[in-house]
Amino acid sequence: MATTAFDVDAARARFSALARPLAFFDGPGGTQCPDEVIDAIAAYLRESNANVGAPYDTSRRTDELVELAHERAADFLGCSSAEVAFGPSMTALNFLLTRALARTLRPGDEIVVTALDHDANVAPWLEIAHDMDITVRVARLTDDLELDYAGLESQLSERTRVVGFPVAANSVGTAPDIRRVVELAHEAGALAWADAVHYAPHGPIDVAAWDVDVLICSPYKFFGPHMGLASGRAELLRSWRPYKVRAAPDEPVGHRFELGTLQHELLAGFVACVDYLDSISWDAIQAHERALGERFLAGLPDHLELYGLTGMDRRVPTFCFNVPGRSPEEVATFLAQHDLAVWHGNYYALETMRHLGLDGTVRVGIVHYNTEEEVDRLLATLAELT
């Protein structure tokens, strides 16, 4: 089947933020917003700003927006709108959800995470272990920074209650086999707890098809506003006692995990963000990103040390490397001086860096609004670093 053609110039024209010399390769830390997202946020504050539940016009429109945002989130995630929860960030939502789950844990229970995980899907479990008599285990990696599935399986037992894993690693780009991880978790009687923050800008999410029990992500990583988004199986969410005020609604069940008044203007931006993504084919996005990733890998100067997979299979276009003799901060600063935005550090991927024996690296993240010219300019500038 032919892949839908992707017009990167047409996409970029929808982002005023891209009309500058700076080339954004910092997507893993947060993407730019198309103008329609910014306009939706401003329009809500100008025209509909109110709290929910009142009989007047702006409040009724806000009620409608909250319902619409949950419906669009359900479409984006592949779940029921009742199973959706919004929050200030993925990290905040994950601490809230894991704390609710912790009320069901017993001494001797175990949680398994992976060495590919962002710390936002590790630290909440470690904090529970700090407060309770449970164990957190870490599934290790292969030499090319893929998940060691045999090692993961060996960590599982009748005591395992949760297997936490990333759909894609924000540090090195590895994309684990979701179905394999979920099957291993469920065979052990454990929940599959997926962090899709880094995967979300690169491909479609389907909670139902993946059969995950909980999934968390961040709209600001997929061209939306700064907020968090989660999905959980309705029967699972209903079985937990949430931390919330007494007057807050219990139904729809996802609302139990939305504390206080939601960021209504950001919900308007979120709806516009999903509409933007719906206007572009995922097949086209993935083909464009794969081509740019292959271009980057083919042109990477030989003296650079790349960590992880050397091809575009089983990964997203996020690349982790160092320049011998140069610190990651020095490299990132040099690139910034040439209008190239990249990150340096550990990216909260503490277990990955521990596996590599490093304090930090340089990270390049490609998304669909990047161009061949930008990739070539990045490679030419990296070649100057010797």
Q: Going by C-beta distance under 8 Å and a sequence separation of 6 or more, which residues neighbour residue 232?
A: 83, 85, 97, 213, 214, 215, 254, 257
- Which pLDDT score, from 0 to 100, does residue 4 have? 63
CA distance 204 to 167: 11
Token digits of residue 52: 């929910």
Pseudo-torsion of CA 220, 91, 166, 104, nearest 10°?
-140
Token digits of residue 176: 């684990």
- Which pLDDT score, from 0 to 100, does residue 3 have? 52
H and E: helices and strands count for the chain: 14, 13
Fold equal for 8-25+281-383 and 40-277: no
- Which pLDDT score, from 0 to 100, does residue 296 have? 98
Vertex 61: Cα angle to 60 and 63 (nearest 5): 65
Pairing of strands 318-322, 305-307: antiparallel
- Which residue pairs from 50-54 have beta carbons closer than 8 angstroms and sit at least 24 positions apart in sequence? 50/264, 51/261, 52/261
- Which pLDDT score, from 0 to 100, does residue 102 have? 98
Vertex 111: Cα angle to 108 and 116 (nearest 5): 155
Choose the CATH number for 8-25+281-383 among 3.30.1360.120, 3.40.50.2300, 3.90.1150.10, 3.30.460.80. 3.90.1150.10
Q: How many CB atoms lie within 10 A of CB 382?
A: 25
Token digits of residue 15: 């982002």
CA distance 54 to 117: 43
Length of the chain: 386
pTM of the model: 0.96
Contact 366, 299 (CB under 8 A): no
Domain range summary for the chain, segments of one domain joined by +? 8-25+281-383, 40-277
Mind listing the pLDDT tens digit of every residue in the chain (386 residues)?
Answer: 445 689 999 999 999 999 999 999 999 999 999 999 999 999 999 999 999 999 999 999 999 999 999 999 999 999 999 999 999 999 999 999 999 999 999 999 999 999 999 999 999 999 999 999 999 999 999 999 999 999 999 999 999 999 999 999 999 999 999 999 999 999 999 999 999 999 999 999 999 999 999 999 999 999 999 999 999 999 999 999 999 998 888 899 999 999 999 999 999 999 999 999 999 999 999 999 999 999 999 999 999 999 999 999 999 999 999 999 999 999 999 999 999 999 999 999 999 999 999 999 999 999 999 999 999 999 999 999 97
**Class for the domain spanning 40-277:** alpha beta
- Which pLDDT score, from 0 to 100, does residue 139 have? 98
- Exposure string of 32-71, with b = 16+ CB inside 10 Å and e = fewer, is bbbebbbebbeebeeebebeeeeeeeebebbbebbeebbe
